[in-house]
Amino acid sequence: MDSLFETTLSNPIYLAIFAIIVILLIYAIVKKIIKLVISIGIILILYVFYLRYTGQDVPKTIDDLKKSVSEDVDKAKEAASKSIEQVKESTKKVVEEKAMEKIDEILSN
């Protein structure tokens, strides 16, 4: 490992390639961070527009924003669990009906 490091530092071509790779990696990381910050900003702006549209109060502080977001997430979780339960029940009914049809078909033959 030491010889690889020494070879890279002693040869200017390898050093230039290594520097270009490091610069590209740093550029890619910074670019991803900027995209993440912009995405979060857009999501927050859309959330504020949603709150305005529904007539709810827009949070004034960060703590209010956290509380508001957590309440909305809890509401979404509850709605998702209710819809999952409804899908389970409807699927159960469909399976039972199909099973009864097959049983009737087998018994009638």
Provide the residue type at 96 as one letter. E
Residues 38-91: tens digit of each pLDDT: 999 999 899 889 888 988 888 888 888 888 888 888 888 888 989 999 999 899
Once rounded to an integer, what is the mean pLDDT over residues 96-109? 85
- How far is the C-alpha of 92 from the C-alpha of 3, rounded, in Å? 66
Distances (CA, A) of 108 to 19, 71, 100, 101: 79, 55, 12, 10
The alpha carbon dihedral of 83, 81, 69, 30 has a sign of negative
Could you write out the DSSP letters of every residue in 30-99? Answer: HHHHHHHHHHHHHHHHHHHHHHHHHTPPPPSSHHHHHHHHHHHHHHHHHHHHHHHHHHHHHHHHHHHHHH
- Identify whether residues 33 and 49 lie together within a single domain: yes
- Identify whether residues 39 and 68 lie together within a single domain: no
Per-residue pLDDT band for 33 (boundaries 50, 70, 90) equals very high
Once rounded to an integer, what is the mean pLDDT over residues 22-36? 97
Per-residue pLDDT band for 9 (boundaries 50, 70, 90) equals confident
Range of the domain at 37: 1-58
Provide the residue type at 106 as one letter. I
Asked if residue 23 has pLDDT above 90, the reply is: yes
- Identify whether residues 82 and 108 lie together within a single domain: yes
- Identify whether residues 34 and 4 lie together within a single domain: yes
